[in-house]
Amino acid sequence: MAVRVRIAPSPTGYLHVGTARTALYNYLFARKNNGKFILRIEDTDVERSSKEMTDIIIEGLKWLKLDYDEGPFFQSDYFSHYIDHIERLQKTGGIYRCFCTPEELEERKRKAISEKRAWKYDRKCLNLSQEEIEKNLKENKPFVWRVFIPEGKTGFNDLIHGLIEKDNSEIEDFIIIRSDKTPVYNFAVVIDDYRMGITHVIRGDDHISNTFKQLHIYRLLGVKPPEFAHLPLILDEKRAKLSKRSGTVSVLSFKDMGILPEAFINFIGLIGWSPGDNREILSLQEMIKLFSFDKVAKKGGVFDYKKLEWMNSKYITNSTNEKLYELLVPFYLKENIDLKEYPKEKILKIIESVKEKARYLKDFPFLTQFFFKDIENYDKKGIEKYFTSEKIGYLKDLTKKIQNIKDFNSFEIEKVYKEYIDEKNIKGADVIHPTRLALSGRTEGPSLFLMMEIFGKEESVRRLTRIFEFDIFTKQNDGGIV
């Protein structure tokens, strides 16, 4: 049988990191087995579901490049289809109407708790006579449909955890259809998986308790259930379930931070799974080739923000400048810098000059803003350390020399600086750091000579000369020249 898997998010919130990893593992398994990856939107909670959240979920999957083969399908389009299966289940004698009101159930639950008894539905409606049922129906009493759980055990062989069993006494007669005739999650998901021919259900292990209930629906339908693989949860640094309190959990928030999709896919793929060869940088195609459930951990993996940052920096460094240029345009626009207004060749050099220092795409505007704007403040400690009268004298000499460079490129600029350092018998730091501070206002940054090449001769000379026009030792404003 051809492999068919699905990702089934609920559009009641953003695409969560955990859902994204579940989608990835479904995708990897489908692609490795030449199967189909299906998107189903589980919107049976009509009040909380929204088109906006659906669009955001789809956008998140698109950003991660997890292309689905079929869908999106919406559960809300099949409400009548779920009801159609009730007659089939009735004939098995495995379901029954329950006329208990929420108030009655709550009262009985309170009583059980006060008597220190564990509460589960007490089957009050299980043995109603046909006459009692007819009477209630004629009086239009609302009812739900419940599944009768027989004695014994319920179990399944999980592809990750192995055999999982539960005594049926721990499973209450659960509801499958509400009184308003809408399906409950556990019923809708079984009917959908059955209708779509899903062969493998790959989801978080917080669904294990649902699986026991769903197996009873498959039993009553008389169909073979799919195979199950329950993934370990993603944990925060305190080893608690990853939640909003732990930090960012919405996938598109990572996009807004400047995480590359390839880096994010690589990172979440290794939370709870390892190819077994200690490699940490893996392409999507490599993960498809190497993925298997026997290498998925049984316990949750930690979402390590520092590791994500490191991994993203590696992907940024290894990306072409052309690719980064297109990705960076919106990040610069947020800082009122339109890269399209500048020669592309210059922007590509600017990107090259700092990409090994960037951890996120959002870092680029800050790391390079001095290329686009005049310096308003110079680093205070840098002024004290590098703008001494002796070092200013060196800069004056060098400013005259670089004006005579005909082919103003990093190689020729560096050559002039080396000759001057040898001539004066001084340390390179005595002229390199003061020049960097004069050009950028900072004590750290890109390669100095590449920076000067990007600025060009005229702008480099202008910025150096500007230093000579200020009394930097007395005219300071919060550490900067005024």
What residues act catalytically? Answer: 244
φ, ψ for residue 409 (rounded to 5)? -130, 170
Handedness of CA 379, 384, 388, 394 (dihedral sign): negative
Cβ partners under 8 Å of residue 476, min gap 6: 380, 383, 482
Cβ partners under 8 Å of residue 56, min gap 6: 14, 15, 252
| Residue 74: strand, helix, or coil | strand
* Angstrom distance (rounded) from CA 320 to CA 302: 31
Cβ partners under 8 Å of residue 210, min gap 6: 185, 186, 189
Q: What is the CA radius of gyration of the chain?
A: 32
* Angstrom distance (rounded) from CA 144 to CA 125: 10
Strand 95-98 and strand 144-147: the pairing is: antiparallel
Spatial CA neighbour of 21 closest among 270, 205, 299: 270
CB atoms within 10 A of CB 36: 20
* Angstrom distance (rounded) from CA 112 to CA 134: 30
Cβ partners under 8 Å of residue 244, min gap 6: none
* Angstrom distance (rounded) from CA 397 to CA 279: 51
Cβ partners under 8 Å of residue 87, min gap 6: none
- Token reading at 30: 């489908």
Spatial CA neighbour of 343 closest among 458, 454, 460: 454
Residue showing tokens 């389009």: 77
DSSP bridge pairs for 164: 156
- Token reading at 15: 């695409």
* Angstrom distance (rounded) from CA 261 to CA 328: 14
CB atoms within 10 A of CB 172: 16
